[in-house]
Amino acid sequence: MSSDRATRPKGADVFDDAVSAAAARHLALFPAASMQELAAAAGVSRATLFRRFPSREALVVELCEAAVRAFVGIVDATDPGRGTPTAALARVVSELAELGPMVGLLGLQPLAEHVESALLEQISAAEGRLRHLIRRGQEAGEFRVEVDPEWFLTMSTWLMVGSADSVRLGRLTPASGQRHLTATIEATVLRPRH
């Protein structure tokens, strides 16, 4: 097992505690869940959940912040600057695909503009490293030159959301969602071998 897997957040470890993890799992299955439903899913009373999170918005913000930390942690742990671009892409995409079912649908939760801006600022350096990976792969002749690094970021984000939603709806298992997400990104980015 690689050191990447030992150092990156995984599953419920993305969140600070069992209550947050349970709330995130429930939101992934029921994006419109009420605080009462989230409390029940976490095995606590509504009053206990409100003591921890003064509002549903505060809960969603904390979960989104944890998801951002997990994303940054994965990019750091997989080190997109190490090795060949193709190997680096495989590491990054594989790890992000595993994160998708747990946090993918958090991206659809409504956030205040200033909160969204702050979260985007927190991931900007990690996104910069991924843009550099795409350019490096293009310069090495391993990646398609027509795939804009910005499109790679957009596509990866929304494929994670789509994969998570397919899992939520029972159309895909988490494993098949991860497999399809990885295959789709690699088919889009890698140059075909002749």
DSSP codes joined into one string, 99-136? HHHHHGGGGGS---HHHHHHHHHHHHHHHHHHHHHHHH
How many C-alpha atoms does 172 have within 13 Å on its Cβ side?
18
Residue 8: the pLDDT is: 43
Residue 194: the pLDDT is: 67
**Helical ranges in 140-173 per DSSP H:** 149-168
Q: Does some domain include residue 74?
A: yes
Handedness of CA 182, 184, 185, 190 (dihedral sign): positive
- Whole-angstrom CA distances from 39 to 14, 27, 108 are 19, 11, 20
Query: Cα(59)–Cα(65) distance, rounded to whole angstroms?
Result: 10
Question: Taking the CB of residue 134, how many other CB atoms lie within 10 A of it?
Answer: 23
Residue 36 sits in a domain whose CATH number is: 1.10.357.10
Q: Does some domain include residue 194?
A: no
Q: Does some domain include residue 55?
A: yes
Q: Does some domain include residue 125?
A: yes
Strand partners, 143: 190
Q: Does some domain include residue 78?
A: yes
The domain total for the chain is: 1
Q: Does some domain include residue 117?
A: yes
Q: Does some domain include residue 165?
A: yes
**What is the amino acid identity at position 34?**
S
**What is the amino acid identity at position 164?**
A
Q: Does some domain include residue 156?
A: yes
Query: Cα(37)–Cα(7) distance, rounded to whole angstroms?
Result: 33
Average pLDDT, the chain: 88
Residue 2: the pLDDT is: 40
**Global pTM value:** 0.83
Residues of the chain with pLDDT under 70: 1-12, 194
**Could you tell me the residue range of the domain that residue 44 belongs to?**
3-189
